[in-house]
Amino acid sequence: VLTLPGDKRIVERAQKSQIQELITLSFAGVKGTVDTLIYDDGDPGSGYYWGTGTRMAMRMSPLDSCRILAVQYYCWSRTGTQTIDATLYEWTGSAPGNQLGSPVSVSMNESGGWRIADFSSQNVNVSGD
């Protein structure tokens, strides 16, 4: 497994609780190798909040054409359980474009920890952002 450079962390701060999201994109690269693109600076020092029904996006840029296998999130412990729909979109130059594949539901629960949205069965192939 090869870890590619590129640091960025997204943190959601919900009312009376916190969810930290470390966004990791795993994809099949050249010659069947599996690479991992990680956006993380190791410092959960900022936060974002958004209401029900809104969206947040992370633009990721693989170095070459690839098939997206999974998106991984790290969540702090929180009160209650929340489900998000991890969804992939193509990039159209200045904003997300058409949806790629189907959303994958990911449960964020009280125990916190890693959560994985598995896209491997959807055969989502990209050739850029």
pLDDT digit string (tens) for 31-74? 667 777 777 666 665 555 556 777 777 778 887 888 888 888 77
Most confident of 9-13, 53-57, 94-98: 94-98
The pTM for the full model equals 0.65
Residue 23 or residue 20, greater confidence: 23
Alpha carbons 45 and 13: distance in angstroms, whole number: 11
Q: Where are the domains of the chain?
A: 2-126
CA atoms within 13 A on the CB side of 124: 24
Alpha carbons 90 and 129: distance in angstroms, whole number: 7
Average pLDDT over residues 22-35: 60
